[in-house]
């Protein structure tokens, strides 16, 4: 099933872009090699670092599809997007805000732009400006959230509002979830949390252990300096935020809008490096359902059962 024009995609599965440096070349390259869309999360990277990551991912991808995700909320949004376009990635995904300019940049470069949306209104606006597809992300997603409504509610609405492909995102962990989303009209799915628990994801083992040990009641909503709520796994840092306690920060003015309550990029980097008590551990709502670390290849074998099931019907 090929949902993207001019992109040779084996499976309509996008690996979500997880900042800061959770979605890097080893993971993105492995996903692309397995037949999905491997995505590098550019947020928090320098331009030169992003270039290196794209080149490294391509070496692993074996001609698979490589994309880049950039949060609109960061000040160097334009520089990072244009770098990805210059490096001729297969697609660019943008979220945490809305950019009109990105569509003209993508058109000029001949590269598809996907926009993360949570409402049919924003989906229609994205289509009007030139989005090649939209990612319909519901409240079950990890990280910054744009809605309190679940994916299964917003997906049919968004699908009915636009004529471009709609990718379902939020809380999708296995082949059964994929099959459900396809029945609801999705042209593909985006998954992030499942790929953290892969051998190729380059985060600290303690980060993965926090995922593996999470129970349903450990999933919390936190406030982010970006101005959006975020879904994470409870830890010492999230508990301190809940009590109104925030660490001192040295602000680099990296966000367009920031409450300066704490540094979100530093908090995400700390957790990735294994400083679990000093950082935020963003995660999807259904992380507690995932209880093993597998290779990306094995994850894809498990996930693509849904397509085999559909083919039999």
Tens-place pLDDT, residues 75-124: 899 999 999 999 999 999 998 888 899 999 999 999 999 999 999 999 99
- Domains of the chain, by residue range, sit at 13-202+290-312, 205-288
What are the distances in angstroms from CA 96 to CA 107, 143, 230, 265?
A: 21, 10, 11, 14
How many residues appear in the chain?
313
Q: In the prediction, which pLDDT does 226 show? A: 79
Q: Please answer whether residues 229 and 239 qualify as being in contact, where contact means their C-beta atoms are separated by less than 8 angstroms.
A: no
Give alpha helix (H) positions in the chain: 25-33, 47-61, 77-86, 101-109, 120-129, 151-161, 175-183, 193-196, 205-212, 236-242, 264-272, 296-303, 305-312
Q: In the prediction, which pLDDT does 199 show? A: 97
DSSP state for residue 35 in the 8-state scheme? T
Q: In the prediction, which pLDDT does 257 show? A: 65
Predicted structure pTM score = 0.92
pLDDT lower than 50: segments of the chain: 1-2, 311
Q: In the prediction, which pLDDT does 2 show? A: 42
Q: Please, how many CA atoms are within 13 Å of residue 171, restricted to the half-sphere of its CB?
A: 19
Q: Which CATH entry fits the domain spanning 13-202+290-312: 3.40.50.720, 3.30.70.20, 3.30.499.10, 3.20.20.70?
A: 3.20.20.70
């Amino acid at each position: 099933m090929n949902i993207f024009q001019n992109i040779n995609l084996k499976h309509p599965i996008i690996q979500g872009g997880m900042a800061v440096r959770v979605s890097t070349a080893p993971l993105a390259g492995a996903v692309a090699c397995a037949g999905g869309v491997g995505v590098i999360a550019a947020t928090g990277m320098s331009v030169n670092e992003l270039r290196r990551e794209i080149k490294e991912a391509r070496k692993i991808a074996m001609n698979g599809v490589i994309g880049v995700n950039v949060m609109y909320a960061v000040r160097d949004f334009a520089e990072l997007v244009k770098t990805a376009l210059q490096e001729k990635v297969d697609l660019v995904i943008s979220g945490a805000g809305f950019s009109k300019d990105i569509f003209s940049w993508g058109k000029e470069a001949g590269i598809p732009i996907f926009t993360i949306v949570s409402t049919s209104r924003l989906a229609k606006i994205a289509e009007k400006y030139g989005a090649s597809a939209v990612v319909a992300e519901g409240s079950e997603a990890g990280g910054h959230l744009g809605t309190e409504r679940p994916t299964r509610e917003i997906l049919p609405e968004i699908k009915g509002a636009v004529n471009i492909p709609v990718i379902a995102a939020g809380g999708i962990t296995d082949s059964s979830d994929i099959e459900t989303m396809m029945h609801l009209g999705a042209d593909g799915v985006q998954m992030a949390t499942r790929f953290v628990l892969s051998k190729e994801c380059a985060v600290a083992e303690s980060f993965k252990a926090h995922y593996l040990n999470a129970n349903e009641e450990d999933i919390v909503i936190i406030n982010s300096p970006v101005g959006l709520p975020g879904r994470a796994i409870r830890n010492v840092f999230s508990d301190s935020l809940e009590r109104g306690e925030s660490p001192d920060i040295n602000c680099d003015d990296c966000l367009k809008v920031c409450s300066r309550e704490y540094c979100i990029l530093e908090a995400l980097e700390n957790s990735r490096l294994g400083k679990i008590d000093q950082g935020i551990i963003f995660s999807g709502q259904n992380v507690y359902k995932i209880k093993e670390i597998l290779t990306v290849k094995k994850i894809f074998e498990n996930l693509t059962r849904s397509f085999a099931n559909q083919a039999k019907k």
